[in-house]
Chains A and B, each alone.
Chain A
Amino acid sequence: MITPELALMLIFVSIAFVFAYLAVEERKLIRAVVYSAVQSAAFAFLFYLLGAPDIVLVYVPVTVGIYPAALLFLIRKTEEVENP
């Protein structure tokens, strides 16, 4: 019933969920960006397991490289800690 592929996918979904939660909760914005990048990396593995290597190749540089970099440049222009 549960194939090794499915088990791996469950693991990566769980990692993604935990880091999505951490990214939402984290007050320090730079840490939140890093958590979000880890979540994206887990998603990239999911795309690979689902058989979409083309998506992985664009997903990894955009969501782990370019998108966090754009957010970091934005954070540099504002405050580093989110105020409630």
Chain B
Amino acid sequence: MSGVRKVASAVALLAIVAVLSLGAAAGGMGPFFDGIRALGTFYLSTAPPQIAELVLGPSYRGLSSYSPEVVTSIVWDYRGLDTYFETAVFFLAIIGAVAIYRGIEEPVLRRPASGLSPIVRAVTKFLIPINIAVAASIALHGHLTPGGGFQAGAALAVAPVIVIVVFSRRYLLERGVTKLKALFLRSVGLIGIALVVLIPVIWSVLSGEWAWVMQNQWKPGAEVFSYPAYLGGALISGSIWFLNLFEFLAVSFGFTILFLLISIDEDTVRSCMIRGGEECDRY
């Protein structure tokens, strides 16, 4: 009976793959092109400044996002408001988790933090700085090479998870990574994103010239405002570098809050939730 069941589940999985492949091959995903589609050609030829200059001539800045990494320029410039609201949805979820866990803190001195074996701990101590360096490079080079704020934030969020599993939750708290600090840094990231988005509008109100929400380089009809594309000779692609940086802060510390919260001992959470807030405050 168990054998028949196993075969049936394998056949079912294969059938799902086969049906999806058949649908895709029969044109269910729209027509396949050999070359690049017209919209793709537009993005590829306008996003990187050098190519935009060649293709469009001196008027290129009105269409260019000054970022050679086309995916990031689509995410943060061409369709930036989509990304803004995606970020908002993600952070509403985190605010929900924080609200559910409000007032719940694990008692500090429960048992000495031991963690996994010395070998695992030693390897982890080497891996964590590498993880942080890779995440920072993904974020700060996000406008030049594949990557960006969300990718980097997700990469950095792996570090607290590993520390919680290999060492302990207490180890992380003793090193200063607390919920309050994470909330603060996450808020700094969110406020930074909102500021970068709104600075063109604030500038527009103050100066009387026209500028769009989330404008990066000047656009036709809003020619005066423009984020600096170069900083000290280095290409920073205007607002894209700042948005990547703030998204990196917000995502990584948002995930850190979540993992700090869900790693609280279940008995503590349960006693707090059942007996009410008064009991929890003594921790």
| Chain A residues engaging chain B, CB cutoff 8 angstroms | 17, 20-21, 24-25, 53-54, 56-58, 60-62, 65-66, 69-70, 72-73, 76-77
Residues on B with C-beta less than 8 A from A73 are: 259, 262-263
A57 & B158 in contact (Cβ 8 Å cutoff) = no
With A65-B157, A65-B158, A69-B161 known to touch, is A54 a contact of B13 (CB < 8 Å)?
no
Contacts of A20 in B (CB 8 A): 13
Task: Report B269 CB to chain A, min CB distance, Å.
Answer: 9
Which residues of B from 143 to 174 have beta carbons under 8 Å from A? Answer: 146-148, 150-151, 154-155, 157-158, 161-162, 165
Q: A54-B151, A57-B138, A57-B151 are in contact. Are A65 and B13 (CB under 8 A)?
A: no
Question: Which B residues, 242 to 268, have Cβ-Cβ distances below 8 Å to chain A?
Answer: 255, 259, 262-263, 266
Q: Are the C-beta atoms of B155 and A21 separated by less than 8 Å?
A: no
Contacting pair A70 B262 (CB below 8 A): yes
Are the C-beta atoms of A17 and B157 separated by less than 8 Å? no
Look across to chain B and name the residue whose beta carbon is closest to the beta carbon of A70: B262
Known contacts A69-B259, A73-B263, A77-B266; A57 and B9 CB within 8 A of each other: no
Can you name 26 A-B residue pairings with CB atoms under 8 Å?
A17-B14, A21-B10, A24-B13, A25-B6, A25-B9, A54-B71, A54-B147, A54-B148, A54-B151, A57-B147, A58-B151, A58-B154, A60-B155, A61-B151, A61-B158, A65-B158, A65-B162, A66-B157, A66-B161, A69-B161, A69-B165, A69-B259, A70-B262, A73-B259, A73-B262, A76-B266
Other A-B pairs, 5, CB within 8 Å; known A25-B6, A62-B154: A25-B9, A58-B150, A69-B158, A73-B259, A77-B266
- Chain A residues near B10 (CB, 8 Å)? 21
Query: A residues within 8 A CB of B162?
Result: 65
Is B155 a contact partner of A57 (Cβ separation < 8 A)?
yes
In the complex, what residue of chain A is closest to B261 when comparing beta carbons?
A73
CB distance from B38 to the nearest CB of A (A): 19
Taken together as a complex, chains A and B put the C-alpha atoms of A84 and B163 apart, in Å, by: 34
Nearest B residue to A24, CB-CB: B9
Q: For the complex, is B116 an interface residue (Cβ under 8 Å from A)?
A: no
Which A residues touch B6, using CB under 8 A? 25
Please report B residues at the A interface, Cβ cutoff 8 Å.
6, 9-10, 13-14, 17, 71-72, 138, 146-148, 150-151, 154-155, 157-158, 161-162, 165, 255, 259, 262-263, 266
Task: State how many angstroms separate the Cβ of B68 from the closest Cβ of chain A.
Answer: 13
Say yes or no: B138 contacts A17, CB within 8 Å.
no
* Residues of the A chain whose Cβ atoms lie less than 8 Å from the Cβ of B262: 70, 73
A13 to chain B minimum Cβ distance, whole angstroms, is: 8
Partner among B9, B14, B72, B161 whose Cβ is within 8 Å of the Cβ of A65: B161
Please tell me which one of the listed residues B14, B146, B259, B266 contacts residue A57 in the complex, with CB atoms under 8 A apart: B146
Closest to B135 in A: A61
**B146 to A54, Cβ gap below 8 A?**
yes
Out of A17, A53, A60, A69, which one reaches B13, CB within 8 Å?
A17
Looking across the interface, which residue of chain B has its beta carbon closest to that of A66? B157
What is the bound-complex CA distance between A35 and B264, given in angstroms?
Answer: 26
Residues of B within 8 A of A56 (CB): 146
CB nearest neighbor in A for B9: A24
Q: Are A66 and B255 in contact (CB under 8 A)?
A: yes
